[in-house]
Amino acid sequence: MKKNQQEATEIQETSKVTVEEAFVQLTEIVEQMENPKVTLEESMDYYRKGMALLNQCKDTLDQIEKEMITLTEEGEVPDGEIK
C-alpha cells in the first residue's frame, strides 16, 4: 500500500474510535515516540496519527460542549440530573 493511502486509511480508522480509545492510543503513541530506536520517519508517522486523534477528540468535545450549552440555554436538564 502506498504511504499516502496508508495514512488516509489510518486517519479513517482514527475517526471510528471513541474519545477514551483515542486517549489510550495517544498514550501508546507517546511511548513509541520516546523509544530511542524509532526512526525520524516513524516518529513523523506517529505524530501524524497522534494529531489526527487529537483533532478528533477536540471536535467531539467541542460538539458535546455546544450541545450542553444549547440544552442549558433552553432550560432543559441534561440526563441524569434531577430538577
State the pTM of this model. 0.66
pLDDT score at 72: 82
Domain annotation covers residue 22: yes
**Better pLDDT: 43 or 9:** 43
Distance in angstroms (rounded) separating the CA atoms of residues 25 and 52: 11
Domain annotation covers residue 81: no
Whether the predicted pLDDT of 30 surpasses 90: yes
Domain annotation covers residue 78: no
Query: Whole domain around residue 68: which residue ranges?
Result: 7-73
pLDDT score at 16: 75
Distance in angstroms (rounded) separating the CA atoms of residues 15 and 38: 25
Whether the predicted pLDDT of 54 surpasses 70: yes
Of 57, 35, 58, 62, whose CA–CA distance to 46 is shortest? 35
- Confidence band (pLDDT; 50, 70, 90) for 3? low
The total number of structural domains in the chain stands at 1
Domain annotation covers residue 1: no
